[in-house]
Amino acid sequence: MMRSEPRALQLNEHGQLKHFLTLDGLDKTILTEILDRAESFLSMGEQSVKKVPLLRGKTVVNLFFENSTRTRTTFELAGKRLSADVINLNIETSATSKGESLLDTLKNLEAMQSDMFIVRHSDSGAAHFIAEHCTPNVAIINAGDGRHAHPTQAMLDMLTIRRHKGGFDGLKIAIVGDILHSRVARSQLQALTTLGVSDVRLVGPKTLVPSFFAEMGATICHDLEAGLKDVDVIVMLRLQKERMKGALLPSESEFYRLYGLTEETLAWAKPDAIVMHPGPINRGVEISSEVADGKHSVILDQVTNGIAVRMAVMSMAMSGQLQSDDSPAAKDEK
């Protein structure tokens, strides 16, 4: 069976977002709209009542087939701040652990009049599969699938960069670490190139930064000093040990010696460089505590920005669903 093209599946007939599965196929206009809308939500965290009624009466289901604390919590907060009813489905105790198929589980959730599924899965393409097989009026948001994509993480990183650097023109950005197993790196690279960044460096050992990534518009660096030289932004990635097969690294201590971000190696970047990390952080493996907690770090800003970006994506997808020609509301208008 032929899979739908990402752009065709994610956008409605009017070019509005109705699912958010990947950044592949989305243009600069859509990404900028997400960032602009997220900016408008950021001030809500300072208000006494942190809610807007954009998703009032809607039911959002967090379908996390893979463990996560930060992503699930920020999606839950985002849904509640949009006034949605949010359900966290415990997959370990759900019917899928007793042999029920994924499609059967989805059909049952659809029968409960759910409006949006936030999906995290260890299999690449899982969110895409769900979007193809769900009823058309349920919005699907990808919260990370295998090695494939983590689009909301990439967009919260873009918001963090834009807020600290004012834009993307002329930036030099290094993404360091386990590129091979990182869905975050793939989505970040797509976002950065779409937003106009021409100097993106993927830095790490040959076993974790294969040469084929150059085809996506990045410069491959196996030397940390060359990778960090005069960059504006450094994104450190966690070693994805749970996804590694075979001896890709001699040891964590050797990786830290060659590719760890310390105060000494940070000095190769520009004096006003910012340091990012999608989390969770392995201190002393990819980054030192002095840098993670230091003046260049914007790691906690990423978490704050994550709530606003997820609010933006969820509200846009729900609006796109309501404006879709397949939606019940659109059919009523006809």
Annotated binding site for L-aspartate: 98, 183, 238
Cross-strand bridge partners of residue 89? 63
Q: What is the CA radius of gyration of the chain?
A: 20
What's the half-sphere exposure (Cβ side, CA atoms, 13 Å) at 92?
2
Quickly list DSSP for 301-325. Answer: HHHHHHHHHHHHHHHHHHHHHHHST
Which DSSP string corresponds to 203-258?
A: ES-TTTS-GGGGGGT-EEESSHHHHHTT-SEEEE----GGG--S---S-HHHHHHH
CA distance 286 to 309: 26
Task: Fill in the DSSP letter of residue 191.
Answer: H
Q: Which residues pair with 60 in a beta bridge?
A: 86, 116
- Strands of the 85-90 sheet, one edge to the other: 85-90, 59-64, 116-121, 139-145
Please state the residue numbers annotated as binding site for carbamoyl phosphate: 70-71, 120, 150, 153, 279-280
Per-residue buried b or exposed e for 79-95, using 16+ beta carbons within 10 Å of the residue's own CB: bbbbebebebbebeeee
Contact (Cβ atoms closer than 8 angstroms) between residue 72 and residue 64: yes
Task: Give the annotated binding-site residues.
Answer: 70-71, 98, 120, 150, 153, 183, 238, 279-280
Residue 297 sits at φ, ψ, to 5 deg, of -75, 135
Amino acid at 282: N
Contact of 140 with 127, CB cutoff 8 Å = yes
Q: Answer yes or no: are the C-beta atoms of 226 and 258 closer than 8 Å.
A: no
Q: Determine the 3-state secondary structure of 113 from DSSP.
A: coil
